[in-house]
Amino acid sequence: MKKWVFILAIAISLLKAQKEHPFNKGETLLYDVSLNFVSAGTASLELGDIEEFDGTSSYHITFRMKTNSVWDQIFRIRDTVETWIDSEGLFTRKLKKTIKEPRYSQKLRADFDYGSGIITTNKKALSISSEIRDPYSFFYYLRTVPLKVGDLFNFTIFDNHKLTDLSLIVHRKEQIDVPVGKFDCLVVEPFREGRMLFKNRGDMKVWLSDDSQRLPIKIVSKAKFGSLVMKLARHSP
């Protein structure tokens, strides 16, 4: 009897987590990617099943980016990032990255032990005193936060074996066209002393749909090799 009560409690908690967020398991976001205004490849964000992870329920998120056959001859990219995020608090519990780019590659694994207050990576250990998000779990968390023009937020992000204090500003509202359609958006920018959220130097801006779903419609990054633009081409469900 106790076993069935326990199973029922888990099922209720999973349903509750799904209901409270503007996304559900199975959501897939597909992007057209351009580099320096030239079509360069595709990227995707996939929200997998809710999994039991260290006794808690977590979303399994996978990000992939790859260049097309033309750009493979110029600047070949094959990136895969997997992150497991708490299904209620949307903070990171585990992170895996495989980055394959010209003159740069990385294999990162990080386990987040909040009970012990330690992030353990394949290179080092870091002390933490609060819930931490990586750049990808941060996107999903941001979709749940009430936003209005002029808002300024401060966060701590984990990436590339280190913790980074990050600020985010909501710049303006703007209507944009992307392959999947036309959207009213909120334009937000994460920044830290002129450095973008990810590993390259430059700026980053994100266009979030100004509706209940808060879809990341467009992402623009100014990187060492030029300007990278991701535009939403398809999403499901």
Domain limits of the chain? 24-236
At residue 11, the pLDDT reads 42
Q: Read off the DSSP letter of residue 128.
A: -
**H helix or E strand, kind and range, residue 74:** helix 69-75
At residue 224, the pLDDT reads 67
Nearest alpha-carbon partner for 140 in 206, 215, 197: 215
Q: Provide the CATH number for the domain formed by 24-236 in this structure.
A: 2.50.20
At residue 17, the pLDDT reads 40
CA 139, CA 46: separation in Å to the nearest integer? Answer: 12
At residue 53, the pLDDT reads 77
Q: Are 75 and 102 in contact (CB under 8 A)?
A: yes
Q: What is the mean pLDDT of each run of 10 residues along the chain (237 residues)?
A: 42 45 94 93 96 89 96 92 95 96 90 96 96 94 95 92 92 97 96 55 82 96 83 94
CA dihedral for 192, 198, 199, 200, sign (positive or negative): negative
CA 228, CA 220: separation in Å to the nearest integer? Answer: 6
CA 237, CA 230: separation in Å to the nearest integer? Answer: 20
User: pTM to 2 decimals?
Assistant: 0.85
At residue 193, the pLDDT reads 63
At residue 54, the pLDDT reads 75
Q: Three-class SS of residue 12?
A: helix
Nearest alpha-carbon partner for 229 in 45, 36, 64, 66: 36
At residue 220, the pLDDT reads 94
Residue type (1 letter), 28: T
Which residues of 68-129 form beta strands (DSSP E)?
78-86, 92-101, 104-113, 118-121, 125-127
